[in-house]
Structure 1
Amino acid sequence: MTEEEPDYRFTLANERTYLAYLRTSLACYAGGLSAVQFLDLGPDRLPAKVIGIVLVLAGIVTTAGAFRRWQLNLTAIRRGGALPVTKLPLMLGATIGVVGLIGLLFSLWR
């Protein structure tokens, strides 16, 4: 299948989406590291460590997934095909929601 140079607006929109995912992954890194450093949820701080690890892992998955999504979208745009479906937003939303709920529950339980 031949690839054509797409309208630059599509390329730039794809790049903006990629950068938004990178900002989100950076926020996950910062939130995870802050949770480990500053949350005081119990004597062994296990909940804070779990929250931190989950958020940092979500950041890593988001970084890798964003790059892969950007590549696949760029290829689809150049070929004039449909954009591939991704579950990255669902994974991010679910992870952040569950971590927030866990943090809230431990804060109330304490």
Structure 2
Amino acid sequence: MEADQPSEVDGEPDYRFTLANERTFLAWIRTALALLAGGVAVAQVVPPFSIPQGTVVLSVGCIALAAVLAAGSYPRWRAVQRAMRADRPLPPHRMMAVVAVGVVVVALAATVLVLLE
């Protein structure tokens, strides 16, 4: 039996917390979709930079960050849901640091590519 099943939980949390957790999950998914769309747009619309494969690097960076974010959002949602149901503290979250660093790296790469144009 999966740990998500009601038989393993101590109680149902206030529905507002459950809905807030769901909204947070959906926000992470929307951000991943935006990064994915940005990566595809860079590959298909942006003219080539003077640095060879610059658009490919920028595009793959956005798409890879989107994949990491999408892959990490569901386990985070599930862990928070379990903690709320068991009335435990929320687990630590490393995904915010990963996304922040990833966005900074992509932004720096885009800045370099634009400035060297």
Question: TM-score, normalization: structure 1?
Answer: 0.92
Question: Between Structure 1 and Structure 2, which shows a larger proportion of helix residues?
Answer: 1
**Aligned pairs, number:** 109
The runs of 4+ residues in structure 1 deviating greater than 3 Å are: none
C-alpha separation in 2, matches of 1:79 and 1:9? 16
> Offset at 1:42?
2.4
Q: Does 1:41 align with 2:76?
A: no
Alignment-mate amino acid for residue 113 of structure 2:
F
Distance in 1 separating the partners of 2:71 and 2:60 = 17
Match of 2:102 in 1: 95
Report deviation, 1:2: 4.2
Q: Identity percentage over the alignment?
A: 34
Residue aligning to 1:61: 68
> What is the 5 A alignment of 1:6-25?
6-25=13-32
Tell me: CA distance 1:43–1:103, structure 2 relative to 1, closer, same or farther (3 Å).
Answer: closer
Q: CA RMSD in A?
A: 1.4
